[in-house]
Amino acid sequence: MGGDHGPSATVPGVARAALRLEGRNVRFLLCGDHDRIAAQLGRSKKVAALCEIRHSDLVIASDEKPAQAMRRGKGSSMWNAVEAVKNGEAIAAVSSGNTGALMAISKLVLRMSADLERPAIVASWPSLRGATTVLDVGANVVCDAERLVDFAIMGEAFHRAVHGVTKPTVGLLNIGSEDQKGHEEIREAHRILREGGLPLDYRGFVEGDDISAGLVDVVVTDGFTGNVALKTAEGTARFIASEMRGAFTSGLMSKIGALVASKALKTLKHRLDPNTVNGGPLLGLNGVVVKSHGGANDEGFANAIMVAADVAQSRFADEIRDNMQQLVTVLAQSGTAGEDI
């Protein structure tokens, strides 16, 4: 029921995902207003046969504060979707709704699998090599060294599950690539990743322009820096798209040029469209919850569902658990376990 478009985008998104997931024995539990959902499902009997509607009169508003959403959230469409994961009725929950409310409800219902205070939000970032996984992009504003290493472990497992890279490379976002650059926490995280013997292909520090270049597969940072970087990139993409539209419609010759280059322009538009890489899992929960962009269209929501299916049907959770246990051993040996880093 969430996002800018509600069921007019999410239900057709389910239909698109159902076609892509054909043969993987996936069904859908749609939580929300029965009549509005059924009206959209009525367009495809084949898709409707794969869906169950769980009615709810209560919907969390997009501007509702997380604390308020938690107080009155039980029984809402968002709560029911997350609870279905807890009860084993679903392998994953996907929502375009209120991010803060989704994070708060998911944490309350599913609990954290590690000692994180809040789940980490991961983004798939278009790059010259396909996509770069970036985390955290907004959930944990301040992070110590151990938390950044946690993110590296989770991001590496996510990239393997969703993007199919057998041994993803990992880097820490910093203001320079030299060892002495950056604040104390990021230098300590760098030391642990480099010397701790964790089974990660760690490549050291990377800078902001390395994200889109695809220098590494996974870029790790705190939520404050990650969110600023993400919003800056999205704004830059919109700026470039707007400038290109203006340039190619400024005159007759420009329009002719746009017609000649139409195929290339469509490819570029697809690469810059946030819907193409939509779907950010909340990592660190005891269950899979994926946040879709609030403005996502049906194609974007379908992509978020595909991310959820890929993560849920991978060894993602097992890999994180194994590596987290190894991290505990590394920290104990270095004498930092249980201390503020």
Q: What is the mean pLDDT of residues 266-292?
A: 78
The verdict on 13 and 151 lying in the same domain is: no
Whole-model pTM: value is: 0.80
Closest CA to 113 of 285, 292, 302: 285
Residue 159 lies in a domain: yes
Return the CATH number at 234. 3.40.718.10
pLDDT (0 to 100) of residue 181: 86
The verdict on 324 and 196 lying in the same domain is: yes
Closest CA to 155 of 131, 122, 182, 125: 122
Rounded Cα distance, 99 and 286, in Å: 18
Say if residue 81's pLDDT is above 90: yes
Q: What is the pLDDT of residues 148-186, one digit of tens each?
A: 998 998 899 888 888 889 899 999 999 988 888 888 899
Residue 235 lies in a domain: yes
Q: Is the dihedral of CA 164, 165, 166, 168 positive or negative?
A: negative
The verdict on 123 and 38 lying in the same domain is: no
The verdict on 323 and 207 lying in the same domain is: yes
Domain boundary (80, 111, 142) is at 111
Rounded Cα distance, 75 and 1, in Å: 13
Place of tokens 């389910």: 14
Domain count, the chain: 2
**Greater pLDDT, 46 or 91:** 91
Q: What is the pLDDT of residues 325-337, one digit of tens each?
A: 777 676 666 665 4
Domain boundary (61, 91, 111) is at 111
Structural domain that includes position 96: 1-111
